[in-house]
Chain A
Amino acid sequence: MTPEELAGELDRVGYLPDAGIATAAYLALRMHRPLFCEGEPGTGKTSLAVALSQALDLPLIRLQCHEGIDATQALYDWDFPRQLLHLRALEAAGPVDADEAEASLYTRRFLLARPLLQALEDAPCVLLVDEVDRADDEFEAFLLEVLSENSVTIPELGRVTAKTPPLVVLTSNRTREVHDALKRRCLYHWLEHPDLAREVAILRRRLPGVTERLAHQVATAVRRLRELDLLKPPGVAESLDWAEALLALGRTELDAETAATTLGAVLKYREDGRRALSAGVLTGMTGSTIVG
């Protein structure tokens, strides 16, 4: 496979990558390195992992990071209630040997596999570690260990090693700088907003009901909004929302009035809405300015 072929595969499942994304995903696959994606919200970091799993026909395992996440939530946990019931059942059946009973408690059937362990067991698969910047520093060190070894040691059971390393995609919104040690083991890709033609193509691909003209108008308007100095510039996710809103309203054209009434789909701050209106981005957008 070449990066271009991988791009074709991603295209097939509805994700339109540029050369950078395709090369990044290709190298992550070939070099067995995690892919660390950063970029503005709404540039398709998470959906890249989803698309990769679909394009490569692999299961997707998702680990959503949050503050205070620890090993029992990310790796594995013992199913305590079930162990207890098992012990009761043994007792009820008759006299039991204590050592034997204990050994029977710490077996795979009482182990709850959380995403990381699940990914190691189910590999080949796509492991998405979403918003890793939300987790604590300590968790990063722990993640680093699992990712670099592709294995984990469970004291009571032994070592679990992935037969083939899973394809790992980490995403970050840069709320916090992730430690260098983690980044060093990854391929780093900064995702940008797509260019106009690609954004039109994405809109058309994701929302088949949208006409070329409407997609073009939405993409152009969103592009202009991004150039304004907004608190939260709209991403591709927002242009999709907007186009979908217009579709739901049965519009085939984005005129100034419709744009103003549906602006809430793209801009989520009152200040941004006001700025967009006063900058006149939405006025004079019918007909002449748009190449159909």
Chain B
Amino acid sequence: MTGAGASTGLVGFARALRHGGVACGPERVQAFVAAVDHLDLAQRDHVYWAGRLTLCSEPDDLPRYDAAFAAWFGGTPPRTRPGARPTQTSHLAALGNGAAKRNGRAPTLKVAASDVEVLRRKDIATLSPAEKRHLRELLAVLEPVPPTRRALRRTPARRGEIDPRRTLKSMLATGEPTRPRHRRRTTRPRKVVLLIDVSGSMKPYADALLRFAHVVARHMPVEVCTLGTRLTRVTRQLRHRDPEQAVAAAARAVPDYEGGTRLGETIKVFLDRWGQRGAARRAVVVICSDGWERGDTALLAEQVHRLRRLAHKVVWVNPHAGHDGYRPVQSGIVAALPHLDRLLAGHSLDTLHALLEEVRLA
């Protein structure tokens, strides 16, 4: 049995874990204490597995759990990991390290990106606070309609193909030949994926685009990720009803807000982690980015091509595309353009409306 003192220690560990960023509520902590009860408290391995099984709920939690466990109980976690870690997690870690290493040669490209951005910022600055507030209100009342796809199942209908099962049923019921019953295919909302670039060069649009994503998420099944030097999934954060809180939570979750962009690598991480498994399959994928790529454009082209083969439609929204004299010359856009279904503008409410229409008809 677990003594009172021991369970206090376990609860303390759970609290430390919560500080470490693992969302383990009281119910999980209770399960943790109960689990240890069934095992041997004296064995570190047992405590480790009891905690990992009850307190964690996704692979992202595992490194945090390992760190918290090592800090609380000392030593290294007993997890076997001779290169056996999930591939994506290690990839994400590599991305983080890469960001630190690459900072050395970042400035040259950063200047190019911010030169264009100076203009953008001026643009936005001309929006008075009142106008900005108004824009938010207008965004909040958008009523996006999801795109549809044909469903597998059929429902009774007044006309359409003959429904043998129901026809037979009614004949059995009356014992007489009856009018044939009909059925038709139903439609279901098609998945939508929003990939939003939150790098420094997209700063003026990031807030508006996240609000836009929040509105979209309230109306259809959608996955939202932010792109920057790394990929962050913010679908959960945007699920919050209140736009202010949702956007604030999303901004908190994104570690690389207003950093650099490595579109190719982040899109690859998205495809590896979620896209290929199902999130992008037959979905309408919208990439919101200005196309300033700091990484390898060949990789970006390859990944957008891969995305194109998985997705139903790939739409690229470039805020700059709406400006006079815009030509798709940014390295990223040039690389991705051959694989896109549409290149749209996205710098104003009007263009966002047009985007919704495009998504609806996709």
Contacts and interface: CB of A to CB of B under 8 A. Distances in A.
Interface of A: 3, 18-20, 23-24, 26-27, 30-31, 33, 38-40, 67-68, 80-81, 84, 133-134, 173-177, 180, 183-184, 187-190, 192-196, 223, 226-227, 231-233
8 contacts: A3-B39, A3-B46, A23-B49, A27-B50, A31-B34, A174-B277, A180-B57, A223-B83
Contacts of B172: 81, 84
B87 A188 contact: no
Contacts of B52: 20, 188-189
B28 A184 contact: yes
B82 A24 contact: no
A40 B31 contact: no
A170 to B, nearest CB: 13
Given A20-B52, A23-B49, A233-B87, A68 B82 contact: no
Given A68-B153, A184-B57, A20 B49 contact: yes
Given A19-B78, A27-B53, A84-B173, A227 B83 contact: yes
A27 B38 contact: yes
Contacts of A196: 82
B80 A18 contact: yes
B57 A133 contact: no
A37 to B, nearest CB: 11
Given A81-B172, A180-B57, A187-B54, A133 B278 contact: yes
Interface string B152-196: 110000000000000001001100000000000000000000000
B173 A31 contact: no
Instruction: Report which residue of A19, A27, A196 has the largest number of chain B beta carbons within 10 angstroms of its beta carbon.
Output: A27
Given A19-B45, A23-B49, A68-B152, 11 more contacts: A20-B80, A27-B38, A31-B34, A84-B173, A173-B278, A174-B273, A175-B278, A184-B28, A190-B62, A226-B87, A227-B83
Interface string B347-361: 000000000000000
Contacts of A19: 45, 49, 78, 80
Interface in B79-95: 79-87
A133 B59 CA distance: 15
B153 A177 contact: no
A223 B54 CA distance: 30
B72 interface: no
B247 to A, nearest CB: 20
B278 A176 contact: yes
Interface string B4-39: 000000000000000000000101100100110011
B261 interface: no
Contacts of B85: 192
A173 to B, nearest CB: 6
Instruction: Report which residue of B54, B83, B84, B151 has the largest number of chain A beta carbons within 10 angstroms of its beta carbon.
Output: B84
Contacts of B46: 3, 23
Contacts of B236: 177
A43 to B, nearest CB: 9
B331 interface: no
A18 B81 CA distance: 11
Contacts of B56: 188, 190
A20 B39 contact: no
A67 B35 CA distance: 34
A40 B87 contact: yes
B161 to A, nearest CB: 18
B2 interface: no
Contact of A187 (B53, B82, B169): B53
Contact of B86 (A24, A173, A189, A190): A190
Given A31-B35, A192-B84, A24 B153 contact: no
B235 interface: yes
B124 to A, nearest CB: 33
Contacts of B62: 190
Contacts of A195: 80, 82, 84
A189 B53 contact: yes
Contacts of B225: none
A211 B49 CA distance: 34
Query: A-B pairs with the 10 shortest C-beta distances?
Result: A175-B278, A23-B49, A187-B53, A175-B277, A30-B38, A192-B84, A183-B57, A195-B82, A193-B84, A27-B35
B298 to A, nearest CB: 14
A101 B196 CA distance: 63
Given A68-B151, A192-B86, A194-B84, A177 B235 contact: yes
B49 A24 contact: yes
A218 B274 CA distance: 29
Contacts of B276: 231-232
B279 interface: yes
Contacts of A23: 39, 45-46, 49-50, 53
Contacts of B39: 3, 23, 26-27
B205 to A, nearest CB: 26
Contacts of A180: 57
Contacts of B87: 40, 226, 233
Contacts of B31: 31, 33, 187
B222 to A, nearest CB: 12
A84 B165 CA distance: 14
B168 to A, nearest CB: 9
A81 B171 CA distance: 11
Instruction: Report which residue of B53, B86, B169 has the largest number of chain A beta carbons within 10 angstroms of its beta carbon.
Output: B53
B277 A173 contact: yes
A27 to B, nearest CB: 5
Nearest to A28: B53
A183 B23 CA distance: 12
Contacts of B35: 27, 31, 187
Interface string B130-155: 00000000000000000000011100
Interface in B32-77: 34-35, 38-39, 45-46, 49-50, 52-54, 56-59, 62
